[in-house]
Amino acid sequence: MKLSLCIAVYNEEKNLHYPLDSAIDLVDEVVIVDGGSTDRTIEIAKSYGKKVRIINSDNPVMFHKNKQKAIEAAKGEWILQLDADEEITEELKSEIQNIVGDDHRVVPNVAYNIPRKNWFLTGFLMKGGQYPDYTIRLYKNGFAKFPCKDVHENVEIKGEIGFLKNPILHYADPDFSRYLMRFDRYTTAEVERMPKDTKLSFFNYIIWKPKVTFFMMYFRHKGFMDGFSGFVFSLFSAIRYWVIYIKWRAKN
């Protein structure tokens, strides 16, 4: 078995078609770890046939734990890990096939960084430091592990890491309601992982960090070139520090 597609899901009936439609013909198996979905996620996953294997789990705040379960269950020589709202392009599919499909080719790397385009409200964000947004998503089985310490972490790799040219398309936030849902989940996860004796500075989290973040994203990295979407994304990336501080105060 050459290639396993690994996905961790929870109530993703509207999005699961992205990774499955784009990669089902490329991979030898699909390993889905479901965090107790209450919508049609499981029904949709099963409709893709015998390649799909579903593992039931809980839905931890640190959702990388379910991603780790998926890659541990994979049987392929290589693993392609995607989120439920991501798809691969035909050009990226060809790149991946060239790496995993040739038994006689010497592959120097055990993992690959893949650029990613992130959709926000009306289009893909190309400025504000949001592209190419490299993320490690293709790796040899047994060479990668999620530390499960941070909501924005990549896998840890034992070996050399290369780069692919063509992007993953990430339809993370097609509307503001979904963005706010993810915003709430990520900020909660950041607070939950803090040690009990953590002390947050009012000045840093209410004044300094938001100010610097907005300036860097909107001006230094030209987020303004993404129009209104760029402004909103820069603004909420900055004020997430307010939310983290407030949730930390409430928790303690």
Q: Is 243 helix (H, G, I), strand (E, B) or coil?
A: helix
**Claim to verify: residue 209 and residue 87 sit in the same structural domain:** no
Laid out side by side, the sheet with 123-125 consists of 86-88, 168-173, 116-120, 123-125
**Claim to verify: residue 16 and residue 115 sit in the same structural domain:** yes
Which among 3, 187, 178 is positioned nearest to 85, based on CA atoms?
178
In whole angstroms, what is the distance from residue 194 CA to residue 103 CA?
45
- Kind of pairing between the strands at 52-56 and 29-34: parallel
The pLDDT, as a whole number, for residue 248 is 96
Domain boundary among 172, 203, 229: 172
Range of the domain at 33: 3-172
**Claim to verify: residue 62 and residue 180 sit in the same structural domain:** no
**Number of separate domains in the chain:** 2
DSSP 75: -
DSSP 103: T
Tell me, what CATH number does 17's domain have? 3.90.550.10
pTM: 0.89
**Claim to verify: residue 36 and residue 102 sit in the same structural domain:** yes
**Claim to verify: residue 190 and residue 158 sit in the same structural domain:** no
In whole angstroms, what is the distance from residue 174 CA to residue 146 CA?
27
Give the distance from CA 234 to its chain's centroid: 19
**Claim to verify: residue 15 and residue 112 sit in the same structural domain:** yes
Domain boundary among 115, 147, 172: 172
Q: H helices within 112-208, ranges in order?
A: 176-192, 202
The pLDDT, as a whole number, for residue 154 is 85
**Claim to verify: residue 204 and residue 79 sit in the same structural domain:** no
Domain boundary among 135, 157, 172: 172
In whole angstroms, what is the distance from residue 96 CA to residue 113 CA?
12
**Claim to verify: residue 43 and residue 149 sit in the same structural domain:** yes
The pLDDT, as a whole number, for residue 78 is 97
**Claim to verify: residue 226 and residue 159 sit in the same structural domain:** no
**Claim to verify: residue 132 and residue 231 sit in the same structural domain:** no
**Claim to verify: residue 111 and residue 232 sit in the same structural domain:** no
**Claim to verify: residue 149 and residue 195 sit in the same structural domain:** no
- Per-position pLDDT tens, the chain of length 252: 899 999 999 999 999 999 999 999 999 999 999 999 999 999 999 999 999 999 999 998 788 999 999 999 999 999 999 999 999 999 999 999 999 986 656 678 999 999 999 999 999 999 999 999 999 999 999 999 999 887 777 899 999 999 999 999 999 899 999 999 999 989 998 998 888 889 999 999 999 999 999 999 999 999 999 999 999 999 999 999 999 999 999 998
Give backbone dihedrals phi and psi of 228, rounded to 5 degrees, phi first.
-60, -35
- Kind of pairing between the strands at 78-81 and 116-120: unpaired
201: left (phi over 0), alpha (psi -120 to 50) or beta: beta
Contact 110, 159 (CB under 8 A): yes
